[in-house]
Amino acid sequence: MNDAPVDDLTILRCPHCEETLEAVGGGASCVAGHHHDRAKHGYLSLRVAAKGLGAPAAGDTADMVDARERFQGAGHHDAIAAAVRDAAVAGVSATPGDDGWVVDLAGGPGWHLGHVLDALPGMHGLLLDASTVAVRRAQRSHPRIVAATADLRARIPVGDETAAAVLKVFAPGPPVEIERILAPGGVLVAAIPEPEHHRELVQPLKLLKVPAGKADELVASLPGLQEVARTTVRETVHVDRAAAADAVFMGPNAFHQKRAEVEAALAAGPETRELTVAVTVVTLRAPGG
Ligand SMILES: C[S@@+](CC[C@H](N)C(=O)[O-])C[C@H]1O[C@@H](n2cnc3c(N)ncnc32)[C@H](O)[C@@H]1O
Ligand SMILES: [Zn+2]
């Protein structure tokens, strides 16, 4: 186990100009003089406005991150975490050396990345997310995780061919950039919900629907990578009303739903309900290595 603090500046790049970063007082700077603050909690702030996309994304709120941590901590998504972990371990173990970086795109508070790193004791994790709250929690969640805020809609502030593995779990991430940051032989592990995921809540509460075929769509958007494995987690878990509300408010539905209305609708149903978990985990490999 290598729990020494890691130097995140070996992998991070300036989100404005893609140059390398050097430590300076209060944070890090590139040769062009773009300065990025390091928070007292240790993470760098790399969230900048991307050309043509308006203000930088703010990501999940504290309430959403709380809901995610409660729901994941209760074990309702353990089967997804195990599938992501196993896919990452299988993908990384197929290439020589297992001491590189796992980059978690929009990784939230770090639950999935922590599971992956526990199974890969020689590797380090970089977690990027637009949410300051999520990044702060992720940074302190595991000794081998470093985190940074970033808006991942256009660019990933990471050097070319630096990632042995990239995780994309219910998360955004531009395909061209994923191909750019993967090291030769490196793997992308993506977890994508199926239309029936959480259907017992989606249908009655009129939540955002997941269209069919999203995993195929992702694979088609990454022509430079080759699909090497695919598995679909399908199971039924049992959630009480509080956990059902967390399942709604830990994701983008939080931006469209009123908590009081959702809680009233859940109160009219049983105290415990079945919840379908249906998520495809696909592994794609970069050429070379
Ligand atoms: C559904 S959550 C998934 C979090 C984590 N991957 C997991 O499965 O636990 C989506 C995450 O994307 C982040 N996010 C949303 N828009 C983003 C953006 N433009 N750039 C970076 N992160 C973003 C949110 O803050 C949130 O943490
Ligand atoms: Zn710069």
Please tell me the residue having the least CA distance from ligand 1 atom 8.
Answer: 169
**Does the Cβ of 35 fall within 6 Å of ligand 1?**
no
Residue 144 confidence (pLDDT) above 60: yes
**What are 252's two structure tokens?**
């983008």
Residue 1 confidence (pLDDT) above 50: no
Please tell me the residue having the least CA distance from ligand 1 atom 15.
Answer: 59
Average pLDDT, integer, range 178-188: 97
Mutate to test the pocket of ligand 1, among 70, 152, 156 (most ligand atoms within 8 A of CB): 152
* CA 170 to ligand 1 center in whole angstroms: 7
In the prediction, which pLDDT does 50 show? 82
Helical pair 62-73 and 241-249, crossing angle rounded to 10 deg: 130
Please tell me the residue having the least CA distance from ligand 1 atom 25.
Answer: 59
pLDDT digits (tens, 9 = 90+) for 251-288: 999 999 999 999 999 999 999 999 999 999 999 999 99
Please tell me the residue having the least CA distance from ligand 1 atom 10.
Answer: 171
Helical pair 241-249 and 259-267, crossing angle rounded to 10 deg: 150
5 falls in which pLDDT band (50, 70, 90)? low
Provide CB contacts within 8 A for 24, sequence distance 6+: 35
- The helix/strand/coil state of 122 is coil
**Domain coordinates of the chain in residue numbers?**
8-191+208-233+279-285
245 falls in which pLDDT band (50, 70, 90)? very high
**Continuous segment of H or E residues that includes residue 278:** strand 272-285
**Does the Cβ of 251 fall within 6 Å of ligand 1?**
yes
Measured torsion, CA atoms of residues 112, 118, 123, 125, in degrees rounded to the nearest 10: 30
Average pLDDT, integer, range 59-67: 97
53 vs 32: which has the higher pLDDT: 32
Q: What is the pTM of this model?
A: 0.96
Average pLDDT taken over every residue of the chain: 94
Provide CB contacts within 8 A for 12, sequence distance 6+: 21, 28, 44, 46, 126, 148, 157, 158, 159
Percent of the chain with pLDDT over 70: 97
Residue 112, sorted as left (phi over 0), alpha (psi -120 to 50) or beta, turns out to be alpha
What is the CATH architecture of 8-191+208-233+279-285? 3-Layer(aba) Sandwich (3.40)
